Amino acid sequence: MSVLWEGFLQGLKGLWTIALIVIPLMIVLEVAESNGLLQKLNRLMARPFKIIGLGEEGAFPVVIAGVFGITYGSGVIINHVRTGKVTRKEARVVGTFMSIAHALIEDTIIFWVLGAPLLLLVAPRLILAYVMSYLVYRLTPELDSPDGDNIDTTD
């Protein structure tokens, strides 16, 4: 019993540490979003994304995923593919980028709280995401014909 109790307390202590950061962070994010900072970030990123073959429509899901997480980014990209705003190849480049670098704020905070250095938590993900996406962009042939990817556009 004492082992379970000890683990429980350990967990609660950790949870408290995280809550002290997560709640203020969510307030800051909400304020930033309400003030249109996300669109500004998107504009700022336009040039570097051009290099890996992403136009504004392709860059948007990457920015969304980077800030809010892969689920949100995927939601946007699925919708973009369905409405023809991005090509399948672009979707592949976006998918590569956001699978490596997403939820950069939340994921970073978790380990930052535990003592890992901020720069090491963010920079390698962004750099490798960029490099891998560039490789995919250069090496993937155009994917216009359905090739068994079965992009599910029903939800």
Contacts to another protein by CB under 8 A: 3-4, 6-8, 10-15, 18-19, 22-31, 34-35, 70-71, 73-74, 77-78, 81, 88, 91-92, 94-96, 98-100, 106-108, 110-111, 113-117, 120-121, 124-125, 128, 132, 149, 151-152
- The answer to whether residues 137 and 88 touch, using CB atoms and an 8 Å cutoff, is no
Q: What are the DSSP calls for the chain, one per residue? A: -HHHHHHHHHHHHHHHHHHHHHHHHHHHHHHHHHTTHHHHHHHHTHHHHHHTT--HHHHHHHHHHHHH-HHHHHHHHHHHHHTTSS-HHHHHHHHHHHHHS-SHHHHHHHHHHTT--HHHHHHHHHHHHHHHHHHHHHHSPP--S--S-------
> Which one, 22 or 45, has the nearer CB to another protein?
22
> Which one, 7 or 47, has the nearer CB to another protein?
7
**Least distance to another protein, CB of residue 129, Å:** 9
> Which one, 47 or 114, has the nearer CB to another protein?
114
**Least distance to another protein, CB of residue 106, Å:** 8
**Least distance to another protein, CB of residue 32, Å:** 9
> Which one, 25 or 46, has the nearer CB to another protein?
25
